[in-house]
């Protein structure tokens, strides 16, 4: 499937397996990040805006992955404690 999206004033045909609503949502996010960078830093070069937006998006991704890993570790620890309690309860009961 091919979908046309507009990012930072330029239209792009995007081919992908995802549905068109998702592709548009992703493109709108990138467009918003690029506009945010351009407004904040007054950068004129589209390439520089794109690179800085990509760095911001990547930073968000890495932070989310890190917090996800921490949450998964906490859940695994709680499950382990719960399993220990269940084993104790079964062995005494």
Residue spans of the domains in the chain: they are 2-92
Whether 49 shows a pLDDT value over 80: the answer reads yes
Residues 87-91 have a mean pLDDT of 72
Q: Considering the entire predicted model, what is its pTM? A: 0.72
Residues 5-8: contacts with CB under 8 Å, at least 24 apart: 6/31, 7/31, 7/34, 8/34, 8/35, 8/38, 8/46, 8/49, 8/50
Q: Tell me the C-alpha distance between 68 and 46, whole Å.
A: 32
Q: Tell me the C-alpha distance between 12 and 52, whole Å.
A: 20
Q: For residue 70, what pLDDT band results from cuts at 50, 70 and 90?
A: confident
Look at residue 93 in the predicted model and tell me its pLDDT: 58
Residues 40-49 have a mean pLDDT of 90
Whether 81 shows a pLDDT value over 80: the answer reads no
Average pLDDT, the chain: 87
């Amino acid at each position: 499937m091919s979908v046309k999206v507009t990012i930072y004033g330029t239209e792009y045909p995007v081919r992908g397996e995802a549905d068109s609503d998702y592709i548009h949502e992703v493109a709108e996010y990138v467009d918003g990040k690029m506009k945010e960078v351009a407004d904040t830093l007054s950068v004129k070069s589209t390439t520089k805006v794109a690179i800085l937006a990509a760095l911001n998006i990547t930073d968000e991704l890495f932070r989310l992955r890190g917090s996800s890993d921490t949450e998964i570790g906490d859940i695994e620890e709680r499950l382990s404690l719960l399993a220990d309690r269940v084993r104790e309860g079964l062995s005494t009961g």
